[in-house]
Chains A and B, each alone.
Chain A
Amino acid sequence: MSLTGALIFMGGLGLALAVILTLANKRLFVAEDPRIDDVEEMLPKTNCGACGSPGCRAFAEACVAGEVNPAKCTVSPPEMTAFIADYLGVELGDEEKIVARLACAGGNHVARMRSQYSGMQSCRAAVAAGGGGKACSWGCLGLADCEQSCDFDAITMDRNGLPVVDEEKCVACNDCVVACPLNLFSLEPVSHRLWVACKSLAEGDEVLADCEVGCTGCARCVADAPDGLITIKNNLAAVDYSKNALASKLPIQRCPTGAIVWLQDSTVEKGAAAKRILRKEPLPLDPTA
């Protein structure tokens, strides 16, 4: 008796709940565009955030709603974004490739160390411990926080302890910009070819005491550049990218240290007057500094 009672009760309960659920499903059904699922399927699902949306699903929703162009996805290969645009019946936008760039060229073969840092191998830890051992307070510490933060293997540390960005692999996800405690990275369109690879605010020749490739603020590039393209701000050359159309290789030619460079196709071109750096090995530590 008790068993049948229980079976009837549980069965009845199950049936009643099933009816409620079925009704709720019919009544409260949210019609979702099936294309969102399809587009999400076509996206790389890295959830990197480079497009500005919080994850690939949100990007797919925005694409389907027509709020953003599929070309904003920097991780998908161009064929795939073209395919998505075709699928959605929209014109594929002309998104310029954006990459992360480092505003420092002071590897350990050109930038002097004033003391040896032997603590935890992280730039952020070094910054907390007296700013790390580098003589230049603004320069790259070379402990690879950016390399670790990069999910796309686009950053590798070179033999002189400087991160090198592989522009092919870089998707401009902003992770390295956030990871660097010295704010040396920034996201730049590849057309910004004129680049000042230095952030030292030190005055004039004091920069050279710390680093052989720093910007001394000598303003030769300012003199050679078309009006207003380059200015000196805080002892540092600054390129006004709103006038980027005027940029040429001319301003870099007379730079004595090679701090201002021309970046094209993953090569760094220094001016003719830039000091040649032949040294490969790290500079010795100056124990009296």
Chain B
Amino acid sequence: MFDFLSFLRKRGTFSHGIHPAENKHYTAHMPIKRLPFAPELVLPLSQHFGAPSEAIVHPGQEVVRGEPIARANGFMSVPLHAPATGRIKRIELMPTAKGPRTPSVILEVYPGDSQEVRYDFPRDYTTMEPKDIVKAVQDTGLVGLGGAAFPTHVKLSPPKEHKVHTVLLNGCECEPFLTTDHRVMLEYPEDLIRGTKILMRALGAERAIIGTEQNKMDAVEAIRAHLPADGPIDVRAVPTKYPQGAEKMLAKALMDVEIPSGNFPSSVGLGVFNVASTAELGALFPHSQGVIERVVTVTGPGIEKPGNYMVPIGTPIRFILNRLGFGGTSNCLIMGGPMMGGSVSSLDVPITKGSGGLLVLTEQILEQQHELSTHPCISCAQCVAACPMHLNPSQLGKLAYKHRYDDMRSDFHLMDCFECGCCSYVCPSGIPLVQYFRIAKSSLREKAARERAAAS
């Protein structure tokens, strides 16, 4: 009887979700290659979630690859390192992928330099205290490379009452088109495992599970080849489904636990980290180096040479696209994957720590999209069946249409929505549901900020 019930509870995956076309065939088989340095790098001081970094260089100053050029402004912030040897040209407002212009350091790269990373101070995590590891992780400037760019060291400092027993490594990469995490797991398994051990030591966790999807079995084998059979680290593949890569979904699939609404994974004893960030940590930490480059999947039907590229942070996407054969306009670009990525409104925006992919579409695809129109909700409940958070997007959408944002939050748990876009994807009436929810959430956040300002 219990076996039967646990079967009903869908062990090994989460309920609801969707199966969008994967489209990973463009780049899944392509090894990570390096791109040359752009003549000028644009380094926004706010590439992460939290307070912007503080520049510690001045225009005209020469910097060496790997040297810190901005320091963390408080705990909820990370430093920034020079991705190339060169000269600081100026510090000014530059466009970013999110839209608004933010203060950025502009670095002119010396073309003749060997671009070696000379910053190398050996560090041994096996003898370090957890709190020293947290500080050292902050110094690497590491943030979640999966897209949210949440500072890793903050995740390593859970509230005191939370005891983390298991580290989950998120290698699901459920976004269609993107293959960054897949290639990193395949090509840098040793770094990944070292990074995992650092995370486990920092959190005092007993075990770790590297979770990926069943469409990446080659990565599972590559990692397993480097792991002892009965060690504390395990690799598991869960069924391929979107949005398996959300931390709440991954915790449900791997551990069969639900992270309570509004809580961090540490409240149920888990720490969830992206595999690319962990591999980066494993590579940088023993040398005390900082994040200066990342793997970006440049893919889609609009680009001649798709692939997985190691790109210095701050490379303008115009430079990448010119090298890889692109004849379209900025209308065709999505930073990140098609489900949760954001469209880019200018070719001058740089690759930041959070940009894992650059999806290039064609004008024809866009024109087909323009022909789609929105119809009234027919209450078919396909969105209800798709929502992985078990919300009611149909009802939320109707309320959003009437601008009843407070009701959406109090009665329909709007703030649990993590904007995966399943509802918009399945809606047969073409209602932009997730867009409505983003508007509602941003309005509510602004309202809360106004009320805080009025109260103080």
Which residue numbers of A lie inside 8 Å of B, CB to CB?
114-120, 122, 124-125, 127-133, 135, 137, 178, 181, 201-203, 287-289
Interface residues of B in 355-402 (CB under 8 A from A): 366, 369-370
Indicate if the CB atoms of B435 and A125 lie closer than 8 Å: yes
CB-defined interface of B432-444 with A at 8 Å, one 1/0 digit per residue? 1001101100110
Indicate if the CB atoms of B370 and A127 lie closer than 8 Å: no
Instruction: List, in ascending order, chain B residues with CB within 8 A of A115's CB.
Output: 329-331, 344-346
Minimum CB–CB distance for B181 against chain A, Å:
24
Indicate if the CB atoms of B347 and A288 lie closer than 8 Å: yes
Instruction: List, in ascending order, chain B residues with CB within 8 A of A127's CB.
Output: 99, 442
Indicate if the CB atoms of A129 and B330 lie closer than 8 Å: no
Instruction: List, in ascending order, chain A residues with CB within 8 A of B100's CB.
Output: 131, 137
Q: In the complex, A202 Cα to B92 Cα: how many Å?
A: 9
Indicate if the CB atoms of A114 and B435 lie closer than 8 Å: no
Indicate if the CB atoms of B439 and A114 lie closer than 8 Å: no
Indicate if the CB atoms of A122 and B439 lie closer than 8 Å: yes
22 contacts between A and B (CB under 8 A): A114-B346, A118-B370, A119-B435, A120-B435, A120-B436, A124-B438, A124-B442, A124-B443, A125-B439, A129-B342, A129-B345, A130-B346, A131-B345, A132-B345, A137-B95, A137-B99, A178-B446, A181-B442, A181-B446, A203-B92, A288-B329, A289-B348
B343 at the interface (CB under 8 A from A): yes
Q: In the complex, A125 Cα to B98 Cα: how many Å?
A: 12
Indicate if the CB atoms of B346 and A125 lie closer than 8 Å: no
Extra contacts besides A118-B366, A287-B329 (6): CB < 8 Å: A115-B344, A129-B343, A130-B335, A131-B99, A135-B346, A137-B99
B97 at the interface (CB under 8 A from A): yes
Interface residues of B in 315-352 (CB under 8 A from A): 329-331, 335, 342-348
Indicate if the CB atoms of B438 and A130 lie closer than 8 Å: no
Instruction: List, in ascending order, chain B residues with CB within 8 A of A178's CB.
Output: 446-447, 450
* B342 in complex: contacting residue of A114, A128, A288, CB < 8 Å: A128
Please, which residue of chain A has its CB at the minimum distance from the CB of B342?
A130
Given A115-B345, A202-B101, A203-B92: A128 touches B442 (CB 8 Å cut-off)? yes
Indicate if the CB atoms of A289 and B438 lie closer than 8 Å: no
Indicate if the CB atoms of A128 and B331 lie closer than 8 Å: no
Instruction: List, in ascending order, chain A residues with CB within 8 A of B335's CB.
Output: 130
Which residue numbers of B lie inside 8 Å of A, CB to CB?
92-93, 95, 97-101, 329-331, 335, 342-348, 366, 369-370, 432, 435-436, 438-439, 442-443, 446-447, 450
Please, which residue of chain A has its CB at the minimum distance from the CB of B334?
A130
Indicate if the CB atoms of B438 and A137 lie closer than 8 Å: no
Instruction: List, in ascending order, chain A residues with CB within 8 A of B344's CB.
Output: 115, 130
Q: In the complex, A135 Cα to B348 Cα: how many Å?
A: 11
Please provide the 10 A-B residue pairs with the shortest distance between their CB atoms, ordered closest to farther: A131-B99, A130-B345, A287-B329, A115-B330, A124-B439, A115-B345, A137-B101, A130-B343, A137-B100, A128-B438
Please, which residue of chain A has its CB at the minimum distance from the CB of B374?
A120
Instruction: List, in ascending order, chain B residues with CB within 8 A of A128's CB.
Output: 342, 435, 438-439, 442
Q: In the complex, A118 Cα to B330 Cα: how many Å?
A: 13
Instruction: List, in ascending order, chain A residues with CB within 8 A of B443's CB.
Output: 124
Indicate if the CB atoms of B432 and A130 lie closer than 8 Å: no
Instruction: List, in ascending order, chain A residues with CB within 8 A of B92's CB.
Output: 203
Please, which residue of chain B has its CB at the minimum distance from the CB of A148?
B403
Q: In the complex, A130 Cα to B331 Cα: how many Å?
A: 11
Instruction: List, in ascending order, chain A residues with CB within 8 A of B439's CB.
Output: 122, 124-125, 128
Instruction: List, in ascending order, chain A residues with CB within 8 A of B436's CB.
Output: 120
- The CB with the most chain A CB atoms within 10 A, among B97, B98, B343, B345, is that of B345
Instruction: List, in ascending order, chain A residues with CB within 8 A of B370's CB.
Output: 118
Indicate if the CB atoms of B99 and A119 lie closer than 8 Å: no
Q: In the complex, A124 Cα to B443 Cα: how many Å?
A: 9
Q: In the complex, A120 Cα to B346 Cα: how many Å?
A: 19
Indicate if the CB atoms of A125 and B345 lie closer than 8 Å: no
Indicate if the CB atoms of B99 and A132 lie closer than 8 Å: yes
Minimum CB–CB distance for A142 against chain B, Å:
15
Indicate if the CB atoms of A130 and B99 lie closer than 8 Å: yes
Please, which residue of chain B has its CB at the minimum distance from the CB of A235?
B93
Instruction: List, in ascending order, chain B residues with CB within 8 A of A289's CB.
Output: 330, 346-348
Instruction: List, in ascending order, chain B residues with CB within 8 A of A125's CB.
Output: 432, 435, 438-439
Q: In the complex, A39 Cα to B329 Cα: how many Å?
A: 61
Please, which residue of chain B has its CB at the minimum distance from the CB of A136?
B101
Minimum CB–CB distance for B36 against chain A, Å:
22
Instruction: List, in ascending order, chain B residues with CB within 8 A of A203's CB.
Output: 92-93
Q: In the complex, A148 Cα to B344 Cα: how many Å?
A: 27
Instruction: List, in ascending order, chain A residues with CB within 8 A of B438's CB.
Output: 124-125, 128
Instruction: List, in ascending order, chain B residues with CB within 8 A of A131's CB.
Output: 95, 98-100, 345
Instruction: List, in ascending order, chain B residues with CB within 8 A of A135's CB.
Output: 346
Please, which residue of chain B has its CB at the minimum distance from the CB of A127?
B99
* B432 in complex: contacting residue of A114, A119, A132, CB < 8 Å: A119
Indicate if the CB atoms of A133 and B435 lie closer than 8 Å: no
Please, which residue of chain B has its CB at the minimum distance from the CB of A114?
B346
Q: In the complex, A114 Cα to B99 Cα: how many Å?
A: 11
Minimum CB–CB distance for A265 against chain B, Å:
32
